[in-house]
Amino acid sequence: MQSGGTDVETVIEADRVDLVRSGKTLLDQVSMVVRPGEHWALLGPNGAGKTTLLGILGARRHPTRGSVRVLGGTLGRVDLRELRAHIGHVDPRHDLRSALPGRDVVLTGATGSIEIPPRWRPTGAQRERAATLMEVLGVADHADAPWTTLSQGERGRILIARALMPEPRLLLMDEPATGLDVAARERLLSAVDRLRRAHPEMATVLVTHHLEELPASTTHALLLRAGQVVAAGPAAEVVASKPVSACFDHPIDIERSSGRWHARAAAADVAGLEG
């Protein structure tokens, strides 16, 4: 993998990162390393600092202390516009208000804009890539559908296709399943699994606080609580009853079946409620 002409063995290297705003510590000594082809989940309760950390990893924010290298570039010493061109960012709060067709929403990923810029015309290769991505993500049938008529789940998959337009080396997803019903969530997660298989060298980081929203292709996880790392490493070790219970400060039993994780209150806790 290349970035700025330098060989990159790691996609992300965050070393003892602190973030302080208005005297409040939002992140405290956070470290993580993400390598090509790894798929990380950032897990933790509301207010843990997950989205804040994702903003730093996406070169949208700078840490107060510590160092962050993304795709071989160190924040504070790298051209952020150049770096961001290699990072796909999926935000379900995408601020599009017009009735732009689904295909054109995807194409705005090539320009990094909300709307299609005036006088800009996509190349044949860009149109072909948009069509391929929509097919992989299961939204090809919505190419001509106005954004305003799409369901939340359809919008989510279109936004992932949009983020993939510039062929990013890193894809960041901030709670992409927010507001989805069970069927829409499962379609979204299946689409994420498909795109990961289609792009084996791309690394991804996904934020959620629901274990049921983790795709089966998740390889690693980091648990955050009050801005501090509770556990980090292979998902099979981290997404387990003991570390998750510590992260959420509540006894939770974790089970995994067919590659997916499920959480429920620990048996002793349930027995106490029934008693």
Supply the pLDDT for residue 178.
83
For residue 216, give its domain range.
1-86+168-233
* pLDDT per position as a tens digit, 193-234: 988 998 999 999 999 989 999 999 999 999 999 999 999 999
Indicate whether 3 pLDDT > 50: no
Same domain, 26 and 63: yes
Would you say residue 227 lies in a domain? Answer: yes
- Rounded Cα distance between 189 and 196, Å, is 11
Rounded to 10°, the helix 152-164/124-136 angle is 130
Same domain, 150 and 173: no
Confidence of residue 274 (pLDDT cuts 50, 70, 90): low
Supply the pLDDT for residue 108.
95
Supply the pLDDT for residue 40.
98
Indicate whether 271 pLDDT > 80: no
Please give the tally of structural domains in the chain: 2
What percent of the chain has pLDDT above 70?
A: 94
* pLDDT per position as a tens digit, 125-167: 999 999 999 999 999 999 999 999 999 999 999 999 999 999 9
Better-scored residue on pLDDT, 253 or 1: 253
How far CA 53 is from CA of 125, 206, 227, 234, in Å, comes to 34, 11, 9, 19
Supply the pLDDT for residue 8.
57
Neighbours of 47 (CB within 10 A): 14
- Rounded Cα distance between 222 and 211, Å, is 12
For 23, the 3-state DSSP assignment is coil
Q: Are 103 and 109 in contact (CB under 8 A)?
A: no
Same domain, 4 and 128: no
Confidence of residue 67 (pLDDT cuts 50, 70, 90): very high
Same domain, 121 and 148: yes
Would you say residue 94 lies in a domain? Answer: no
Supply the pLDDT for residue 269.
59
Structure tokens at 172: 């960041």
* pLDDT per position as a tens digit, 231-246: 999 999 999 999 999 9
Would you say residue 142 lies in a domain? Answer: yes
CA 112 from centre of chain: 17
Same domain, 24 and 117: no
Supply the pLDDT for residue 268.
58
Same domain, 51 and 172: yes
- Give the pLDDT mean for 110-124: 92
Supply the pLDDT for residue 161.
94
End-to-end CA distance of the chain: 58
How many Cα neighbours within 13 Å face the side chain of 90? 29
* pLDDT per position as a tens digit, 36-65: 999 999 999 999 999 999 999 999 899 999
Better-scored residue on pLDDT, 246 or 268: 246
Same domain, 58 and 182: yes
